[in-house]
Amino acid sequence: MLKYQFDWSVVTSGKYFEWLLSGLYTTIQLSLVAIVLSFLLGLIIAMMRMSNVKPVRWFAHGYLEFFRNTPLLVQIFFWYFGSYKILPTVINDWLNKTNFEFGAAVIALTIYTSAFIAEDIRSGVRSIPKEQLEAARSSGFSYVRSMQYIILPQAVRITIPPLINQFLNLTKNSSLAMTIGVMELTYQARQVESYTFKGFEAFTSATLVYVVLSIIITLMVTYYDKVVLSPMKAR
């Protein structure tokens, strides 16, 4: 019976450690950019979903149904191979000058995650009593100002738990970007395995890093909730 010889040195020193470190940097960069953009886009889609203008509301509903019910991997390939046909030439030129694979992954992760975030935010807004919006409007606030200063701050705080889940899912889903050549953490772990045949060590290290990233994201959002949003609510 063959006995597997563990060798953790391949992932703790030398060039293979540098590969994993480089992959971690790319994963963090990819996740942070997509988290910010998906939250902003999700907020916009949520507002469109609650609009009184029917075409706007129908568009947002179609957006949610389409992207929530399409596998993320399919969407990654869709943007990677089809962006030349869909995106404006200016955006495609910019992607080609920077990092096309990275940009395609950001677009896919942003659009996919924003569809879930939009529904979370909409649920949070609908949980706020309508009387608050009516009181704000009767006090002279426009609809936009009412949402900006009265409703959304409360709704975002309510949706902190589901938002944490979406951000964590996005960070883990970023591993699918390896399929289009983005050299993130999972890609680099696979590279280490290919060169050293130490797959257990490589992917165990990657797994532990993802766990640490998830804990950090949870702590950051929880800190924001307690330090920033709680004082706003108190006032």
Q: Tell me if 74 is assigned to some domain.
A: yes
In a domain? residue 122: yes
pLDDT, mean over the chain? 88
Residue 229 pLDDT grade (very low, low, confident, very high; cuts 50, 70, 90): low
Query: Is the confidence at residue 224, as pLDDT, over 90?
Result: no
Euclidean distance between the first and the last CA atom of the chain, given in angstroms as a whole number: 69
Number of domains in the chain: 1
Q: What is the mean pLDDT of residues 131-148?
A: 78
Q: Which two tokens stand for residue 67?
A: 């992207």
- Please say if the pLDDT value at position 219 is more than 90: no
- Answer yes or no: is pLDDT of 232 > 60: no
| Residue 55 within any structural domain of the chain | yes
Q: What pLDDT digit, counting tens, does each position of 100-112 carry?
A: 999 999 999 999 9
- Asked whether residue 219 is assigned to any structural domain, the reply reads yes
151-199: per-residue pLDDT in tens?
A: 888 887 788 888 888 999 999 999 999 999 999 999 999 999 999 889 9
* Residue tagged 């019976």 (tokens): 1
Mean pLDDT, residues 39-63: 92
d(CA 154, CA 147): 10
pLDDT over threshold 60, residue 58:
yes
Q: Are 74 and 112 in contact (CB under 8 A)?
A: no
Q: Is residue 152 part of a domain?
A: yes
Question: Which residue is listed with tokens 């998906």?
Answer: 38
Q: For residue 5, is it within any domain?
A: no
CATH of the domain at 190: 1.10.3720.10
User: What confidence score (pLDDT) does residue 1 get?
Assistant: 45
- Percentage of the residues of the chain whose pLDDT score is greater than 90: 54
For 124-153, what is the mean pLDDT?
80
| DSSP codes of every residue in 127-194 | TS-HHHHHHHHHTT--HHHHIIIIIHHHHHHHTHHHHHHHHHHHHHHGGGGGGGT---HHHHHHHHHH
- In the block, tokens 């680099």 appear at 188
Q: Which residue range forms the structural domain that includes residue 166?
A: 14-234
Confidence at 235, pLDDT banded by 50, 70, 90 = low
